[in-house]
Chains A and B, each alone.
Chain A
Amino acid sequence: MTEIDFLLKFSPVKEKNVTGGPAGSRASATSGHWSPSLVLPILPYFTFVGLFLLVPTVVLFTKAFRPVTGSTTSAMVEAMSASNRSSFMFSLKLSLYSAILGAIIGFLFALAASRIERPRRLRNLVTGFSGVAANLGGIPLAFAFIASLGAQGLFTRILYHNGIDLYGAGFKIYDFWGIVVVYLYFQIPLMLLVMLPAIDGLRPTWREAAINIGASPFQYWRRVGLPILTPSLLGGTLLLFANAFSAYATAYALSSGGSRLVPVQIRFYLQGNTITGKGNLGYALAAWMVLILLFVMTGYLLLRRRAERWRTA
């Protein structure tokens, strides 16, 4: 999850004008896709990715489609049966809630940061900080929240002294809502990083044109601003969803390994696979994760392309 903000910059790189030159024109004239002199230098890269990413993924899926010992149905099917389905629902719900909340708060945060003109440095401060916080996560983040919102946390105590008893009300940092709150720590800044460029892309002339023909600020936002931002908003939400869905370390450390998240479940099946004969279930759960992420990230990239339409025009 840490490096995901680089996806923000994803857009097909515009082809640098290949200035021809003797080398360039010769290569394109005489060789097709597969000529050895062309392919040889990039072979190590493709071999490496093939060995350590593609082969493992293929193996993952072949094992996932095999049945569990003592059963005839594929592990992929069994992975969606009762107990595992509930952990999938937990993971999906967690990702969804933290994505939607993160998207809304992150959008408001970005909007606020872009509208405040003074002090000038506020904007730089906010973006700089977001760059760091969006990349946080993992163990230190979990620790920070245990120290502030755990049963003996600083913030819990402050609230308690002011008459709000979080834990008395049933809140636990390792429960559903606890994890959602912790995830917001990296979701909000990530959303800000997605939305700031999009908000900057709203041209003042559009606003002026709308006002000139008699629109109120509210009408401007409803009819012009939000429709233009919608692809970015939806895309950002999907990115946040994927971000939360593949996260593991934070929830693991919050709950000391006892959480119901899918990755924790996978770990359980794999470590016990020789005894239970259910190792294939672990593969199947992981394969389902890949499928869901594939679906979500494709949606993100499509929306991203759609959002870019207004910026290049």
Chain B
Amino acid sequence: MNKRRTTWEWPVIIVVGAFFIVPMLAMTRFAMQRVPMSLLGRDTLFSRWTIRGLMNTISDDQFQPAFLLSVRLGIVTVLVVLALLLPTVLWLHLRAVQWKMAAEIVSLLAYVVPPIALVVGVSGAYRDTVPWIVSTNYGLVPLYAILCLPFAYRTLDAGFAALDLHTLVNASRSLGASWQQTFRKVLIPNLWTAILTTSFLAFAVVMGEFAISSLLLKRTLPTYMVEAQGREPQGAMGVALLLLVLTTVLFMVLGRIQKKSPTSSSQEIRITP
């Protein structure tokens, strides 16, 4: 491109950037500074910063069960999604190519059924017949897995598409490896980026999910935050900030991993001995 003087570009970047940064600063201040808004001025800007509110909430005996429940739900959902999709997508690429279109369309349906409609439909369908889905904490897992399906399917599908699958599998099998060994020692190492991406995203989705867990009256981290907001606003704000930081870190790590091994361009094949 020829050299031009930039005129409007920087103002746009700065204004939009400020719009993104101010809420985060305000949130941090609210969570960590014990100075009422009306007294905040130039001379009180740096006084009375503390993490006591956050600590109070973290040591609250209702926080830990909620936090742990969300973490556990996240881990179980990741495992369910991977266990469900890895063999399926493998088979779709290897043999059942004619079913790929159907599988993909089905996975995209979750974008059309919003979480609120999903939970309404599920409770309508199973409240009387299979009540554990609605009544137990881990009944949330299938619903969360459905929420994760569209992006999980796309990620793993792209991961498999980047491999020369037939050569890999045939080589491994003809050297005498069982299906299990092929899966563990050949496929999984080559799909590592796709698997990690799926896992991180699914975990982040579950950690922040509110609509479903609140409608089914489950005490996950987000429902706890809403509830604690009335009781201990500063602590609730601190926990929300913590969740934001956690999500951001997850995404940053993810960006690093993806940059290191772009699935689409990496042609080399890794096989762990």
A interface with B by C-beta (< 8 Å): 2-4, 6-7, 9-10, 13-16, 18-24, 27-28, 33, 38-39, 41-42, 44-46, 48-49, 51-57, 59-60, 63, 105, 108-109, 111-113, 115-117, 122, 126, 128-129, 131-133, 135-141, 143-145, 147-149, 152-155, 157, 184-185, 188, 204, 242, 245-246, 248-249, 252-253, 263, 266-267, 270, 282-283, 286-287, 289-290, 293-294, 297
Q: How far is the CB of A158 from chain B (nearest CB, A)?
A: 9
Known contacts: A18-B166, A144-B23. The answer to whether A48 contacts B142 by CB under 8 A is: yes
Assess the B26–A297 pair: CB atoms within 8 A. no
Assess the B167–A21 pair: CB atoms within 8 A. yes
Assess the A138–B29 pair: CB atoms within 8 A. no
Q: CA A112 – CA B7 in complex, angstroms?
A: 10
Assess the B121–A57 pair: CB atoms within 8 A. yes
A-B contact pairs, 19 of them (CB 8 A): A3-B147, A6-B154, A13-B100, A14-B161, A33-B98, A41-B87, A44-B87, A56-B121, A111-B9, A112-B9, A136-B244, A143-B225, A147-B23, A148-B26, A204-B1, A245-B114, A252-B226, A282-B120, A290-B113
Q: What is the predominant secondary structure among interface residues of chain B facing chain A?
A: helix
Which of A42, A44, A126, A245: most chain B CB closer than 10 A?
Answer: A42
Residues of A within 8 A of B154 (CB): 6, 9-10
Q: CA A137 – CA B23 in complex, angstroms?
A: 13
Which of A6, A7, A14, A55 has a CB less than 8 Å from the CB of B155? A6
Which of B20, B95, B109, B166 has a CB less than 8 Å from the CB of A53? B109
Assess the A246–B91 pair: CB atoms within 8 A. no
- The verdict on B262 contacting chain A, using a C-beta distance below 8 Å, is no
Which of A44, A132, A245 has a CB less than 8 Å from the CB of B251? A132
Assess the B99–A140 pair: CB atoms within 8 A. no
Assess the A56–B114 pair: CB atoms within 8 A. no
Assess the A263–B116 pair: CB atoms within 8 A. yes
- The verdict on B191 contacting chain A, using a C-beta distance below 8 Å, is no
Contact with A along B1-40 (1 / 0, CB 8 A): 1000010111011001001101111110111000001101
Q: How far is the CB of B247 from chain A (nearest CB, A)?
A: 7
- The verdict on B71 contacting chain A, using a C-beta distance below 8 Å, is no
- The verdict on B170 contacting chain A, using a C-beta distance below 8 Å, is yes
Q: B residues 19-74 with Cβ under 8 Å of A?
A: 19-20, 22-27, 29-31, 37-38, 40
Q: How far is the CB of A258 from chain B (nearest CB, A)?
A: 13
Q: How far is the CB of A236 from chain B (nearest CB, A)?
A: 15
Known contacts: A148-B27, A246-B115, A293-B111. The answer to whether A131 contacts B121 by CB under 8 A is: no
Assess the B12–A283 pair: CB atoms within 8 A. no
Assess the B226–A139 pair: CB atoms within 8 A. yes
Residues of B within 8 A of A15 (CB): 97
- Please count the residue pairs between chain A and chain B whose beta carbons lie under 8 angstroms apart in the complex: 286
Which of B97, B125, B210 has a CB less than 8 Å from the CB of A252? B210
Residues of B within 8 A of A297 (CB): 108, 111-112
Assess the B210–A249 pair: CB atoms within 8 A. yes
Known contacts: A60-B120, A266-B120. The answer to whether A38 contacts B125 by CB under 8 A is: no
Interface size bracket, B side: 35 or more
Assess the A53–B113 pair: CB atoms within 8 A. yes
- The verdict on B177 contacting chain A, using a C-beta distance below 8 Å, is no
Q: CA A281 – CA B121 in complex, angstroms?
A: 13
Which of A59, A108, A140, A152 has a CB less than 8 Å from the CB of B121? A59
Residues of A within 8 A of B214 (CB): 249, 252
Assess the B150–A7 pair: CB atoms within 8 A. yes
A-contacting 9-mer, from B180-188, B200-208, B265-273: B200-208
- A60 closest partner in B (C-beta): B121
- The verdict on B241 contacting chain A, using a C-beta distance below 8 Å, is yes
Residues of B within 8 A of A41 (CB): 87-88, 91, 96
Q: CA A52 – CA B98 in complex, angstroms?
A: 24
Residues of B within 8 A of A48 (CB): 84, 142, 145
Q: CA A46 – CA B118 in complex, angstroms?
A: 17
Known contacts: A283-B120, A297-B111. The answer to whether A135 contacts B204 by CB under 8 A is: yes
Which of B37, B84, B166 has a CB less than 8 Å from the CB of A21? B166
Known contacts: A116-B13, A137-B208. The answer to whether A18 contacts B114 by CB under 8 A is: no
Known contacts: A56-B125, A147-B27, A154-B22. The answer to whether A33 contacts B99 by CB under 8 A is: yes
